[in-house]
């Protein structure tokens, strides 16, 4: 059936037949019937989530469930204050999560807002203005410069029509459309010259066309459907915390059950006492402050990143950046400036750098560049076709008197550009009564009409060697992915009665050529170098042509110059199965002429290899891949609301280099969370070991109030302070952690085990010494002193261990004892809270502890400080082995 063939491959006669209409359009009655059949020309509204639903969703996290269990346990043991504190931490964490996720507009709704408000349509044989959401397939509409295309349209007639489709294709230059062309092969969106797509912009010319798709059936609608269907990816941080929460829960249940069972078998304790002992162990094992610490560390990271122009929408995105293996970047507006710029000049038979060359005020080349041009000079800048505005901007940058020339040489006639002859000519009066004909266009077409060439301000006959030199230069510039325009002129005495191509576009004098490109951002090349040194592979994904993409990628250092094998097009990608592409995905660093589904496919292929993928983009066509990636990065200035809404992070300055800054911040955040986890879990293991061994040995054990107070003092301020530790040296020279790593990687798990055993062992040793060599002869007093010393040692040793945790492997004296002022204050406050339970009158009875003398305090401090000494020795040995 003809309907199975894409519209751009069909002649209009077939489309008329399929849509049961003709070039005269529909009647109002028929249009209304079709509106009922097809529905409004609008995108589906994504279901909104209420604040309450967003808030409740925060409690699905496994670690939050563990915390709620801890609150119940604390309440069961009578520690209502601790239960309230834990619940406050959970609620604050949920509120902050809702606040972060509610900042941005929804992607689908943003797409809807982009739609054109009105359309000019032919109904009942008359042109009339209707709301664009009332358009139906079969409607005939008109388009002209400045219009937003309201639906997917098959062009019927076109006159010099140019449509800017960068939001869909990623190509920065408007596409010259031609209604007469019919595609005979599968084409990318940017190559379908007889089509205009919904939400693209008409920059030049005019056309009539037939609506062939509306609403969710359009290309934009298809993208919206892809966004809607995309699964939310779980970030490495979320996966790690979930895994940690499950592991801790199993560990807590096993330990509590074992201790309870052994205690009951021994028969020395009552059922209620053993139940309380088991609960104390559970409380000791749960790192109550971990979710708060993770949230605060991420939140502080987002604040630092915001100051450096990276705006984070979802907290876990901060850490995800730190584990990124692949940055798949859109070209236009991200790696490049999304602004055509004159880069090369061919003048006086020489190819020169445009940035260092100033044309004289009487230069014919400069005059033709400015005069044969439809750019409008506005108060807030230049308006018009990007290629033409680039020509004017170049001369303005070179302080050429543009305004004066336009005033002195007004346009009196013209032959507009059309895609067949690829030329544009304008006629301007000279002071001597003659007229200047200014012509610009494609070099090969313009040379057909040239008989002379200007050399050193003198016109001389053009020779074959000169013509060949010009064509060779054109080819040279084209191979560098530059867009080349040629310029010519002639002086005539009288303007012909009929001004057309035949009467004025002949016997021209060749003035020169320019090579233009959407140039790379100046800071991107260095950012690419830094990304590679950090073990991150940058990819370029663009809708632009292969040669252009390859040239820009080589200039940026993404690929080596001439490495054609690293470049693949969307058509070549279509020829591969997913399995074949999965095997070869590592061969490609540049993807040219791609469609939205290609971008998602590329992201998925790398993710199947276990890589963490960040995707940058600014267009509507980037949104599905931004959502599918582990972290989507939108552009704040040039980005559409769609791309921002689908992103996890937005670059406020559209600066690719900001991504490298964000990666560094992400790595710092992960490292600091890892330090906090090592500190918390080793401390909790020390507590568990202490209680377990005390129970097994039949010693008087620490009460739940002791464990809860130690946890409250040591699991909050010191752990949070570790979350704001300064960045360690050489963090950007390390390889990415990747998807398979977790918080226990890099020697953290073994450190948690030996440090936890060490803390528990030292605490038990102090308890044993206090019992064996008591200060008081009274047995009851001796036991009370021993318990107090064990309580203070277990708390104090954790505060000293916090210093060890400032780096996983580096010496404390290398990273700096007192660089982190917040950490210093946290330790002092935590020590004061711990000490006051012993030295402040009235607290002794609450915590069931005794006053210690100087000798006992000396033992406690010596034992606690030994933790730092032993860990420093172990780290030294580890560094020697790693070398």
In a domain, 261, yes or no: yes
Report CA-CA distances (Å) from 820 to 294, 718, 726: 18, 11, 7
Q: How many Cα neighbours within 13 Å face the side chain of 445?
A: 16
pLDDT tens for 689-745 read 888 888 778 787 777 677 778 877 887 788 888 888 888 888 888 888 777 777 777
Where among 476, 493, 517 does a domain terminate?
Answer: 517
pLDDT at position 881: 79
pLDDT at position 65: 67
pLDDT at position 105: 35
In a domain, 93, yes or no: no
Domain match, 724 and 740 both: yes
Q: 329 by DSSP, 3-state: which?
A: strand
Domain match, 731 and 868 both: yes
pLDDT tens for 651-661 read 887 777 888 88
Question: DSSP label at 654?
Answer: -
Question: 19 is written with which tokens?
Answer: 């849509």
pLDDT at position 56: 74
H/E/C letters for each residue in 98-151? Answer: HHHHCCCCCHHHHHHHHCCCEEEEEECCEEEEEEHHHCCCCCEEEEECCCECCC
Domain match, 131 and 256 both: no
Where among 631, 660, 689 does a domain terminate?
Answer: 660
Domain match, 376 and 503 both: yes
Cα gap 290→21, rounded to integer Å:
66
Domain match, 170 and 187 both: yes
pLDDT at position 219: 85
Where among 206, 229, 252 does a domain terminate?
Answer: 229
pLDDT tens for 663-698 read 888 888 888 888 888 898 898 888 888 888 887 787
Domain match, 204 and 277 both: no
Q: Which of 94-103, 304-313, 367-376 has the lowest mean pLDDT?
A: 94-103
* CB count in 10 Å sphere of residue 146: 10
**Would you say residue 631 has pLDDT above 50?**
yes
Highest mean pLDDT among 37-46, 143-152, 497-506, 813-822: 497-506
pLDDT at position 698: 76
Q: Which residues is 126 bridged to in the sheet? A: 123
pLDDT at position 106: 42
Q: What are the DSSP calls for 351-387, one per residue?
A: EEEGGG----TT-HHHHHHHHS---EEETTEEES-HH
**Would you say residue 109 has pLDDT above 50?**
no
Q: Which of 59-68, 159-168, 716-725, 779-788 has the lowest mean pLDDT?
A: 59-68
Q: Which of 4-18, 209-223, 610-624, 699-713 has the lowest mean pLDDT?
A: 699-713
Mean pLDDT of the chain: 83
pLDDT at position 300: 77
In a domain, 242, yes or no: yes
Cα gap 877→113, rounded to integer Å:
62
CATH number at residue 809: 1.20.1110.10
Domain membership of residue 717 as a residue range: 238-303+667-882
Domain match, 781 and 817 both: yes
Dihedral sign, Cα of residue 128, residue 131, residue 134, residue 136 = positive
In a domain, 87, yes or no: no
pLDDT tens for 112-123 read 444 446 788 999
Averaged pLDDT for residues 615-628: 79
Cα gap 688→255, rounded to integer Å:
8
Q: Which of 453-467, 622-636, 799-813 has the lowest mean pLDDT?
A: 622-636
In a domain, 601, yes or no: yes
Q: What are the DSSP calls for 566-605, one per residue?
A: GEEEHHHHHTS-HHHHHHHGGG-SEEES--HHHHHHHHHH
Domain match, 717 and 787 both: yes
Among 439, 427, 425, 448, residue whose Cα is nearest residue 492: 427
The pairing of strands 381-383 and 435-441 is unpaired
Among 203, 199, 212, 192, residue whose Cα is nearest residue 144: 203
**Would you say residue 870 has pLDDT above 50?**
yes
**Would you say residue 615 has pLDDT above 70?**
yes
Domain match, 361 and 453 both: yes
Per-residue buried b or exposed e for 284-314, using 16+ beta carbons within 10 Å of the residue's own CB: bbbbbbbbbbbbbbbbbbbebbeebbbbbbb
pLDDT tens for 523-540 read 889 999 999 999 999 999
Q: Is residue 120 classed exposed, middle or buried when 0-12, 13-18 and 19+ CB atoms within 10 A define those classes?
A: middle
Confidence of residue 269 (pLDDT cuts 50, 70, 90): low
In a domain, 751, yes or no: yes
**Would you say residue 164 has pLDDT above 70?**
yes
Averaged pLDDT for residues 476-488: 89
pLDDT at position 788: 92
CATH number at residue 644: 3.40.50.1000
**Would you say residue 214 has pLDDT above 80?**
yes
Q: Is residue 236 classed exposed, middle or buried when 0-12, 13-18 and 19+ CB atoms within 10 A define those classes?
A: buried
Among 464, 456, 454, residue whose Cα is nearest residue 487: 454
CATH number at residue 153: 2.70.150.10
Cβ proximity of 148 and 116 under 8 Å: yes
Among 615, 673, 525, 683, residue whose Cα is nearest residue 327: 615
Question: 181 is written with which tokens?
Answer: 């062309």
Cα gap 135→120, rounded to integer Å:
10
Dihedral sign, Cα of residue 645, residue 651, residue 653, residue 656 = negative
Q: Return the higher-pLDDT residue of 32 and 819.
A: 32
pLDDT at position 110: 45
Averaged pLDDT for residues 605-634: 85
In a domain, 104, yes or no: no
Cα gap 569→190, rounded to integer Å:
13
Cα gap 626→313, rounded to integer Å:
13
How many domains, the chain?
Answer: 4
Domain match, 211 and 244 both: no
pLDDT at position 115: 45
Cα gap 384→370, rounded to integer Å:
13
Cα gap 383→783, rounded to integer Å:
87
Confidence of residue 167 (pLDDT cuts 50, 70, 90): low
Domain match, 692 and 711 both: yes
In a domain, 491, yes or no: yes
pLDDT at position 63: 56
pLDDT at position 357: 87
pLDDT at position 424: 93
- pLDDT > 90: percent of the chain: 35
pLDDT tens for 407-458 read 999 999 999 887 778 899 999 999 999 999 999 999 999 999 999 999 887 8
| The model's pTM | 0.67
Q: Give me the residue label for tokens 């610009």.
A: 440
CATH number at residue 405: 3.40.1110.10
Positions marked active-site: 330
* CB count in 10 Å sphere of residue 663: 25
pLDDT at position 579: 93
pLDDT at position 104: 34
pLDDT at position 92: 64
Domain match, 273 and 143 both: no
């Amino acid at each position: 059936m003809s309907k199975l063939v894409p519209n751009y491959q069909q002649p209009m006669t077939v489309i008329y037949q399929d849509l049961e209409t003709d070039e005269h359009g529909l009647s109002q009655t028929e249009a209304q019937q079709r509106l009922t059949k097809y529905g409004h020309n609008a995108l589906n509204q994504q279901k909104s989530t209420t604040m309450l639903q967003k808030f409740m969703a925060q409690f699905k996290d496994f670690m939050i469930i563990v915390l709620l269990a801890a609150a119940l346990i604390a309440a069961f043991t009578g520690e209502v204050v601790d239960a309230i504190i834990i619940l406050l931490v959970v609620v604050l964490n949920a509120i902050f999560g809702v606040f972060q996720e509610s900042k941005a507009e929804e992607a689908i709704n943003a797409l809807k807002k982009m739609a054109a408000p009105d359309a000019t349509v032919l109904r009942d044989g008359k042109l009339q203005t209707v709301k664009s959401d009332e358009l139906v397939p079969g409607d005939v509409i008109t388009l002209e410069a400045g219009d937003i295309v309201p639906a997917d349209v098959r062009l019927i007639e076109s006159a010099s029509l140019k449509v800017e489709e960068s939001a869909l294709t990623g190509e920065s230059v408007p596409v010259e459309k031609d209604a007469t062309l019919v595609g005979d092969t599968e084409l990318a969106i940017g190559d379908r010259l007889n089509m205009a797509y919904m939400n693209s912009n008409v920059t030049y010319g005019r056309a009539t066309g037939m609506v062939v798709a509306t609403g969710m059936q359009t290309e934009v609608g298809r993208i919206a459907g892809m966004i809607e269907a995309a699964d939310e990816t779980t970030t490495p941080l979320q996966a790690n915390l979930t895994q940690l929460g499950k592991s801790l829960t199993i560990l807590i249940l096993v330990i509590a059950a074992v201790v309870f069972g052994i205690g009951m078998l021994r028969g020395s304790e009552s059922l209620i006492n053993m139940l309380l002992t088991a609960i104390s162990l559970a409380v000791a094992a749960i790192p109550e402050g971990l979710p708060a610490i993770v949230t605060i560390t991420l939140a502080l990271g987002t604040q630092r990143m915001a100051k450096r122009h990276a705006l984070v929408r979802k907290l876990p995105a901060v850490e995800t950046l730190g584990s990124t293996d692949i940055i798949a970047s859109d070209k236009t507006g991200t790696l490049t400036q999304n602004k055509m710029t004159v880069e090369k000049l061919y003048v006086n038979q020489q190819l020169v750098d445009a940035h260092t060359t100033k044309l004289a005020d009487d230069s014919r080349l400069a005059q033709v560049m400015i005069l044969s041009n439809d750019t409008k000079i506005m108060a807030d800048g230049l308006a018009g076709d990007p290629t033409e505005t680039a020509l004017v901007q170049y001369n303005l940058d070179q302080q050429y008197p543009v305004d004066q020339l336009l005033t002195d040489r007004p346009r009196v006639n013209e032959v507009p550009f059309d895609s067949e002859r690829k030329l544009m000519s304008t006629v301007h009066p000279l002071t001597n009564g003659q007229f200047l004909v200014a012509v610009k266009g494609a070099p090969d077409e313009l040379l057909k009409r040239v008989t002379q060439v200007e050399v050193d301000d003198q016109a001389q006959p053009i020779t074959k060697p000169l013509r060949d030199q010009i064509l060779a230069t054109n080819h040279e510039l084209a191979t560098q992915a530059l867009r080349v325009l040629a310029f010519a002129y002639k002086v005539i005495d009288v303007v012909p009665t009929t001004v057309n191509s035949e009467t004025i576009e002949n016997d021209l004098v060749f003035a020169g050529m320019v090579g233009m490109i959407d140039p790379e951002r100046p800071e991107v090349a260095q950012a690419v170098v830094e990304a590679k040194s950090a073990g991150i592979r940058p990819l370029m994904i663009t809708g632009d042509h292969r040669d252009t993409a390859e040239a820009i990628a080589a200039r940026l250092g993404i690929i080596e110059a001439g490495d054609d094998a690293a470049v693949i097009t969307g058509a070549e990608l279509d020829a591969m199965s997913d399995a074949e592409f999965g095997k070869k995905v590592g061969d490609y660093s540049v993807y040219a002429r791609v469609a939205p589904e290609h971008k998602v496919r590329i992201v998925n292929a790398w993710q199947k290899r276990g890589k963490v993928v960040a995707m940058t983009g600014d267009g509507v066509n980037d949104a599905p891949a931004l959502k599918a990636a582990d972290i989507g990065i939108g552009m704040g200035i040039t980005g559409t609301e769609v791309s921002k809404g689908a992103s996890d992070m937005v670059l406020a300055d559209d600066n690719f280099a900001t991504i490298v800054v964000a990666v560094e911040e992400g790595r710092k955040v992960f490292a600091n969370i890892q330090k906090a986890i090592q500190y918390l879990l080793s401390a909790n293991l020390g507590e568990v070991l202490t209680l377990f061994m005390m129970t097994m040995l039949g010693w008087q054990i620490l009460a739940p109030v002791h464990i809860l107070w130690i946890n409250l003092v040591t699991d909050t301020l010191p752990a949070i302070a570790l979350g704001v530790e300064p960045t360690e040296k050489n963090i950007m020279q390390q390889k990415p952690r990747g998807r398979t790593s977790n918080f226990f990687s890099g020697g953290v798990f073994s450190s948690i085990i030996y440090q936890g055993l060490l803390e528990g062992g030292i605490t038990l040793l102090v308890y044993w010494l206090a019992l064996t060599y008591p200060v008081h002869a009274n047995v009851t007093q001796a036991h009370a002193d021993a318990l107090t010393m064990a309580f203070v040692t277990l708390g104090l040793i954790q505060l000293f261990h916090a210093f060890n945790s400032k780096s996983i492997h580096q010496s404390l004296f290398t990273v700096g004892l007192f660089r982190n002022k917040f950490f210093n204050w946290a330790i002092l406050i935590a020590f004061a809270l711990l000490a006051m339970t012993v030295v402040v009158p009235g607290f002794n009875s609450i915590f069931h502890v005794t006053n210690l003398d100087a000798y006992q305090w000396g033992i406690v401090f010596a034992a606690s400080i030994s933790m730092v000494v032993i860990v420093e020795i172990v780290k030294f040995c580890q560094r020697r082995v790693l070398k």
